[in-house]
Amino acid sequence: MATAVTGVNEFDIFTCPICLEKLKSPKSLPCSHSFCEVCIGEFILSTESRAGHTLSSYPCPVCRAVVTPTNPEDETSHWASSLPQNVSLPSQMDQSESTKQECHLCKTENIQHLATHWCRDCSEAFCDDCLRIHNRMKISADHKVVKIEEISKCASGDEPDLNLISDKCSVHNSEILTAFCFDHKKLCCLLCLTLRHRKCENVKAFEEMTNRDTDRFNSLESELNKVKSKVEQLIEEKKNKYETLGSSFKSVELAAITSAASIKDKVDILLSSFLKELNISLDEQKAVFEGKLKTAENLLSCIISMMNTTKSVQDYGSINQKCIHFIRTKPELNSKIVETSKVLNEEAVEEVRFVIDNTIHQVEKSRQFWENQSVL
């Protein structure tokens, strides 16, 4: 369970900012942010656990506004249930085409205005007037803001939002990306071209891209398909090995018990200790395999998301979005593949078998010792 939230996706109007799923039994804080009753309850308990003492208040997970419970004398675990129920959200969520969302900033002043835009960085809804104030503030001038009506169009399906492919320059936030430097493999705005790439020989504006230039962009979907196929095969292999993990450990356990059966009563304590360590090793190795499967599944999920976005860009995106998406997706894909490869290292079962063989050898030596003692 996440304990703090820095940003949420475009479906936040009906999404819990903690679990990132559809709100269940929504509870509202004084700052107007809503959460699942279970999620805000667990957040309060985790905040108290980190603080190391009983709480008298807690911060909102989104805006960090201090919340003082109305019943501070009750158990901390009961604070969430005493929060006011957000009765408007369930009815809004039942209307799949509804975009009626109140402006959060107006609501703090007890004013009801219909929100028209959503800031992804602030996780706040704004009316037109409040949006102008938001955009004039230096700290939020470059935040990502989308129209709520555009959010509702994507909320009912799996179609990716092309607005997520920003054409703003990461170096000069107020400038728009217009070209690509093939020498440095960098996206450029006009300022970038003037200040950093004046001497570069292979720079092209997006509008000047030839078929030869864009062919490599078009190959992204094919490459994603290939990687997806390999990852699915890898996951299948890992699942097969995971299924045999228990039987492998069971075989080792039976071998150890058979070997220990011939040892006299004086080594029973050693056998008991060995079996306990074996079960601990099994749990550890299961955890390792589960972690590897989770890593590979996360990579697969990321690739599928990239494929969906790539298809949308190919079908509906502008040339700018195609260029930007391809150039950004390739390094991101390679980075995720490298990260996943680091986790999916050599098999641990053989290492465990080596440790177990050494332990059995020690048991055998102990048996020989006691047999020699009985002869004497």
Q: How far apart are CA 139 and CA 155, in angstroms?
A: 29
pLDDT (tens digit per residue) in 180-190: 998 888 899 98
Which CATH topology does 12-140 take? Herpes Virus-1 (3.30.40)
372 C-beta neighbours (distance < 10 Å), count: 9
* Exposure letters 137-166 (e unless 16+ CB within 10 A, then b): eeeeeeeebbebebbbebbeeeebbbbebe
pLDDT (tens digit per residue) in 237-295: 888 888 888 788 888 888 888 877 776 667 777 778 888 888 888 888 888 888 888 88
CB 71 within 8 A of CB 84: no
To which H or E segment does residue 311 belong?
helix 268-316
pLDDT (tens digit per residue) in 60-77: 988 888 998 888 888 888
Q: Give residue for tokens 């205005």.
A: 113
pLDDT band at 218 (very low <50, low <70, confident <90, very high): low
pLDDT of the residue at 130: 92
Q: What is the mean pLDDT of the chain?
A: 78
Q: How far apart are CA 36 and CA 55, in angstroms?
A: 21
Highest mean pLDDT among 97-101, 103-107, 214-218: 103-107
pLDDT (tens digit per residue) in 323-355: 888 888 888 888 888 888 887 765 554 455 555
Q: At what angle do helices 211-218 and 220-261 cross, to 10 degrees?
A: 30
CB 164 within 8 A of CB 181: no
- Structure tokens given for 169: 């320059």
Q: How far apart are CA 252 and CA 339, in angstroms?
A: 32
pLDDT of the residue at 296: 86
The percentage of residues in the chain with a pLDDT greater than 90, rounded to a whole number, is 5
Q: Does CATH place domain 219-375 in 1.20.272?
A: no
pLDDT (tens digit per residue) in 139-158: 887 787 888 777 655 544 44
Query: Domains of the chain: which residue ranges?
Result: 12-140, 179-208, 219-375
In angstroms, how far is CA 237 from the centroid of its own chain?
A: 24
The answer to whether residue 232 scores a pLDDT higher than 60 is yes
248-253, Cβ contacts within 8 angstroms, sequence gap of 24 or more: 248/349, 249/278, 249/281, 249/282, 249/285, 249/352, 252/278, 252/352, 252/353, 252/356, 253/278
